[in-house]
C-alpha cells in the first residue's frame, strides 16, 4: 500500500480502489510513478519510450469522469511491450533496424481494453531484437534485473518484467511466444500468466509466430494478475474460488535432452510440491511427452518466424545472431520443417496427457538455471545466444506449441538472492484454476513483491 506520500509500490487493486473511492487521483498516482521512472530507469533501461505529458493528460481525463465505478483499473499506470501498437507511437519490435517504424494510428485491442478499464499507459518497454531471445540486450540498451543489475531480467518481455519488479508500474502488458512472459516472471520474482490459445486477442500481425504468441500481463500479486487477465480477456473480474482437491503431476524432465534443472530450481519444485500438499492437493510424478519432433518443429518454427518477419527490417543492420536466425528460417521453410499438422498433433498429445493421467494441473521448474549476465548478448554469436536461452529456459516453449495456459509463480530465492519460480500448466480453459492455485501459493508462502 502507498505509505501516504507516494503510490509507488502499491498494487493495481489498491490504486484502482483508491481512485474509484476518491481517496487518490489518477493524476497524482501517475505523477508519482513517472517521478520514480525518471529516478530509476536510467540504470535499469526498462523503457523504450516514456509518455510523460501524454500520460498526465490521460490521467486527468480519468479524474474528470463522473462515474469510475465500472473502471476496474481506474488510474492504474501500465506499461506496454514495444511490439504492441500504442496509438501515436512507433512499434519498434526491439530493433533499430526496423524500416522507419510507422507510428500506430490505433491501439492494439489489448491496449484499447486496458485504457477502457481506466488504465494509463506510461510508456513502452524494451525487448530483444524481434523478440527472439530470452535476454533483453537489444544493442542500443541493456535491460537489467532489479534484483541484481549484473543479471538479465529475461526475455523477450524483459523490459516489462524489470519495470514491474522495480515498482515502476504495478502491471505491464506483454506477450509470450516461447516463454516470453514466464521466463522474465521467473527471473524477476513475478506472477506471469500465459493464457491458452484464443482466450486473449493476440494478433500481432506477422510477429504472431504461427499462432504461438499470447498476450498477458506481469504483476507482483495474484489478485493483480486476475485483474489484468480479466481485462485483457474481456471478462468481468474473475472471483477466485478455493479449488477442491486436485491431482497435480510433478515433473522436472526437460524438453531439451541433456538439460536438467540446477539444484535451486529442482528444490523450488520440491518446495512447491509440499505447498500443494499443504493446500490439500495430491501430487504424483508424471512426465509430459516431449518427442524429438517437438524440439525440431519448435526450432524450425522459431527460425521461420524470424524469416517471415525480416521483410520489415534493413537486414544489413540486424544483429549477427538475428541474421543467422533468419537464414535458418529460410532453410527450414524450404525443407518443409514448419508444419501446422505437427503442432496440432502435439496439442492433442498434451491434452491427452492430462486426461490419461487424470491430472488437473502439471508442476514443472520455471527455469533450469540462473538468469544469465545482462550484457554481451546483442553482439554475440548466434550459437552463444541460442545456447544461453535454451539451456537456462527450456521449460516454457512446449506449452506455446500446445496452446495450453501456464503460469509462473514465485516460491523463494536462490542462494545468490535472485528470485525462484515454478511453472504450473493446465488443460484448455484452466486459467481461473491456475490463478486460484497461485493464490494458494501466495497465502501459504508470501513473496517479496518488489526488489527494494
Spell out the per-residue pLDDT of the chain, length 452, in tens.
445 589 999 999 999 999 999 999 999 999 999 999 999 999 999 999 999 999 999 999 999 999 999 999 999 999 999 999 999 999 889 998 876 667 999 999 999 999 999 999 999 999 999 999 999 998 788 999 999 999 999 999 999 999 999 999 999 999 999 999 999 999 999 999 999 999 999 987 656 899 999 999 999 999 999 999 999 999 998 899 999 999 999 999 999 988 999 999 999 999 999 999 999 999 999 999 999 999 999 999 999 999 999 988 889 999 999 999 999 999 999 999 999 999 999 999 999 999 999 999 999 999 999 999 999 999 999 999 999 999 999 999 999 999 999 999 999 999 999 999 999 999 999 999 999 999 999 999 999 999 98
- The pLDDT value recorded for residue 205 is 64
Confirm whether 34 is domain-assigned: yes
Query: Is the distance from CB of 161 to CB of 153 less than 8 angstroms?
Result: yes
Supply the residues annotated as catalytic: 81, 156, 180
Confirm whether 449 is domain-assigned: no
C-alpha–C-alpha distance, residues 429 and 38, integer Å: 40
- The pLDDT value recorded for residue 158 is 98
pTM of the prediction?
Answer: 0.97
C-alpha–C-alpha distance, residues 332 and 324, integer Å: 12
pLDDT tens across 71-91, in order? 999 999 999 999 999 999 998
- The pLDDT value recorded for residue 115 is 98
Count Cβ atoms below 10 Å from residue 282 Cβ, excluding itself.
12
Domain of 49?
12-292+336-444
Put residue 403 in one of left, alpha, beta given phi > 0 → left and psi -120 to 50 → alpha: left
Confirm whether 312 is domain-assigned: no
Among 446, 153, 438, 418, which residue's Cα sits nearest to residue 262? 418
> Could you tell me the end-to-end alpha-carbon distance of the chain, in angstroms, rounded to an integer?
14
Confirm whether 315 is domain-assigned: no
Q: How many domains does the chain have?
A: 1
- The pLDDT value recorded for residue 96 is 84
Confirm whether 298 is domain-assigned: no
- The pLDDT value recorded for residue 397 is 97
Backbone angles phi, psi at 76, to 5 degrees: -80, 120
Confirm whether 327 is domain-assigned: no
Angle between helices 222-232 and 431-444 (to 10 degrees): 160
Q: At a CB cut-off of 8 Å and minimum separation 6, what does 205 contact? A: none
Confirm whether 244 is domain-assigned: yes
Confirm whether 139 is domain-assigned: yes
CATH of the domain at 257: 3.90.1300.10
pLDDT tens across 289-316, in order? 999 999 999 999 999 999 999 988 889 9
C-alpha–C-alpha distance, residues 393 and 179, integer Å: 8
Partners of 50 in the beta sheet?
A: 123
Amino acid at each position: 500500500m502507498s505509505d501516504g506520500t507516494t503510490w509507488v509500490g502499491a498494487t493495481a487493486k489498491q490504486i484502482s480502489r483508491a481512485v474509484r473511492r476518491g481517496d487518490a487521483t489518477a493524476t497524482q498516482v501517475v505523477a508519482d510513478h513517472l517521478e520514480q521512472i525518471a529516478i530509476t530507469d536510467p540504470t535499469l533501461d526498462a523503457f523504450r519510450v516514456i509518455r510523460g505529458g501524454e500520460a498526465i493528460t490521460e490521467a486527468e481525463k480519468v479524474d474528470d469522469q463522473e462515474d469510475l465505478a465500472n473502471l476496474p483499473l481506474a488510474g492504474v499506470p501500465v506499461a506496454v511491450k514495444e511490439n504492441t501498437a500504442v496509438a501515436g507511437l512507433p512499434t519498434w519490435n526491439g530493433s533499430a533496424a526496423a524500416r522507419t517504424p510507422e507510428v500506430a494510428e490505433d491501439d492494439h485491442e489489448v491496449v484499447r481494453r486496458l485504457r477502457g478499464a481506466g488504465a494509463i499507459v506510461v510508456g513502452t518497454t524494451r525487448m530483444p531484437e524481434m523478440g527472439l531471445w530470452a535476454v533483453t540486450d537489444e544493442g542500443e540498451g541493456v535491460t537489467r534485473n532489479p534484483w541484481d543489475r549484473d543479471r538479465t531480467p529475461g526475455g523477450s518481455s524483459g523490459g516489462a518484467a524489470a519495470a514491474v519488479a522495480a515498482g515502476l508500474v504495478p502491471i505491464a502488458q506483454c506477450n509470450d511466444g516461447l516463454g516470453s512472459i514466464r521466463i522474465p516472471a521467473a527471473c524477476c520474482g513475478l506472477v506471469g500468466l500465459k493464457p491458452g490459445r484464443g482466450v486473449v486477442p493476440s494478433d500481432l500481425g506477422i510477429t504472431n509466430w504461427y499462432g504461438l504468441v499470447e498476450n498477458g500481463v506481469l504483476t507482483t500479486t495474484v489478485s493483480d494478475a486476475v485483474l489484468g487477465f480479466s481485462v485483457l480477456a474481456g471478462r468481468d473480474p474473475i472471483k477466485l474460488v478455493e479449488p477442491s482437491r486436485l491431482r497435480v503431476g510433478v515433473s522436472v524432465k526437460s524438453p531439451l535432452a541433456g538439460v536438467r534443472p540446477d539444484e535451486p530450481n529442482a528444490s523450488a519444485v520440491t518446495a512447491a510440491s509440499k505447498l500443494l500438499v499443504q493446500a490439500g492437493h495430491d501430487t504424483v510424478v508424471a512426465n509430459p511427452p516431449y518427442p524429438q519432433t517437438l524440439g525440431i518443429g519448435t526450432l524450425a518454427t522459431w527460425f521461420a518466424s524470424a524469416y517471415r518477419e525480416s521483410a520489415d527490417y534493413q537486414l544489413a543492420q540486424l544483429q549477427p545472431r538475428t541474421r543467422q536466425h533468419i537464414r535458418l528460417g529460410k532453410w527450414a521453410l524450404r525443407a518443409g520443417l514448419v508444419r501446422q499438422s505437427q503442432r496440432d498433433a502435439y496439442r492433442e498429445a498434451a491434452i491427452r496427457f492430462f486426461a490419461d493421467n487424470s491430472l488437473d494441473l502439471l508442476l514443472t521448474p520455471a527455469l533450469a538455471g540462473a538468469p544469465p549476465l545482462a550484457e554481451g548478448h546483442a553482439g554475440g554469436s548466434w550459437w552463444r545466444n541460442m545456447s544461453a536461452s535454451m539451456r537456462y529456459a527450456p521449460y516454457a516453449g512446449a506449452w506455446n506449441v500446445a496452446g495450453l495456459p501456464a503460469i509462473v509463480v514465485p516460491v523463494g530465492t536462490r542462494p545468490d538472492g535472485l528470485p525462484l519460480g515454478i511453472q504450473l500448466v493446465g488443460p484448455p480453459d484452466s486459467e481461473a484454476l491456475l490463478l486460484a492455485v497461485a493464490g494458494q501459493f501466495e497465502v501459504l508462502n508470501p513473496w517479496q513483491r518488489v526488489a527494494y
